[in-house]
Copies of this chain bind each other. A is one copy, B any other.
Amino acid sequence: MDSQFRQNRLTGEWVIFSPSRRRRPMDFVRDLKPSNLQEYDSECPFCPGNEQKLSKIAYEVRSKDKATWATRAVYNKYPALTVNGRHSRNLSGPYLSGNGYGSHLVILESPRHDLQLSIMDREDLVVVVESYHHCYSMLAQDPNIMLIMLFKNYGESAGASLYHPHSQVVASAVVPRFIREREREEQRYFDEYGRCAMCDIIEFEINEAKRVIFQNQNFVIFVPFAAEVPCELWIVPKKHSADFNDISEVEKVSLAECLEVVMKKMSNRLNNPDYNFALNSCTRYKNNEPQLHWYLRIVPRLTTRAGFEIGSG
């Protein structure tokens, strides 16, 4: 059975109903830290030489010496969404559903099994950021795609099932309600004050200098005022921009520097925690709107989500 979108009519939330994802492999062992790992794992589908375990390769950047690849994007073998079938809606009784139209890529961030972002050098990280952008742009070309979400799950408690350094990109024909809600709130703020909320926030944070962790010419990193978890961090472009797709070459280098700072600090000061990050960019047709501002949200898994958060779902 192909995956479906299904809507909860009480909340408006769209979820992905995808039976095939239950069959994906799990090789993640708790407390498997980089120091225990080899550069190459013969069982890992993402390591060079094991390509027969992969589905199709979507994109590849060669290494500087051209001997191997530096980063790669592959189609997820257990995709949450696929471009099979048309984007559609179906009403059955009180329920609304639709084809799970979209794409699901995995970006391999290094050929080395053990080279996590926290131990990469600046040059490697620039290539990683360039690959994020390339995949984002590529998926944005499909007019049926409403939203592109780039995210990383690091560690078992963050939902990672394979260790080899990778991020994921899901391109989706529907917009989750959290994104809608964020866009609505940013619109409301703009209507009230005539300014972008995030532009106001970064100006305030830079002046206050209480929660800022790092800044360079193009980005600022800070702990958000209303962090949802301890040590949550946002990396925000200083220039107003709704869409990650519009990032410039020089901003990519600045963003790589920010990633280097954040990953090394998390690894050193928080003892290499599990974490998620997510690129919060705008939905299609909103890339020029004055109230939206993209940012990268990093959420370490230091505590367990429970109770109040679950209860409010």
Contact = CB atoms under 8 A, between A and B. Distances in A.
Interface stretch (A8-16, A35-43, A136-144, A252-260): A8-16
A95 interface: yes
A93 B16 contact: no
Contact of A181 (B6, B11, B197, B299): B11
* Number of copies of this chain that the complex holds: 2
A201 B9 contact: yes
A227 B15 contact: yes
Given A151-B307, A170-B308, A94 B17 contact: no
A97 to B, nearest CB: 8
Interface residues of A, number: 65
What secondary structure prevails in chain A residues at the interface with B? mixed
A93 B225 CA distance: 11
Contacts of A32: none
Nearest to A5: B226
Interface in A1-36: 6-17
Interface of A: 6-17, 80, 93-95, 149-151, 153, 156-160, 168, 170, 176-179, 181-182, 184-186, 188-189, 197-198, 200-201, 204, 208, 224-228, 276, 278-280, 297, 299, 303-308, 310-313
5 contacts: A10-B197, A14-B226, A149-B311, A170-B311, A276-B307
Given A158-B304, A159-B306, A159-B310, 9 more contacts: A8-B224, A11-B178, A80-B308, A95-B204, A159-B304, A159-B305, A170-B308, A181-B181, A299-B310
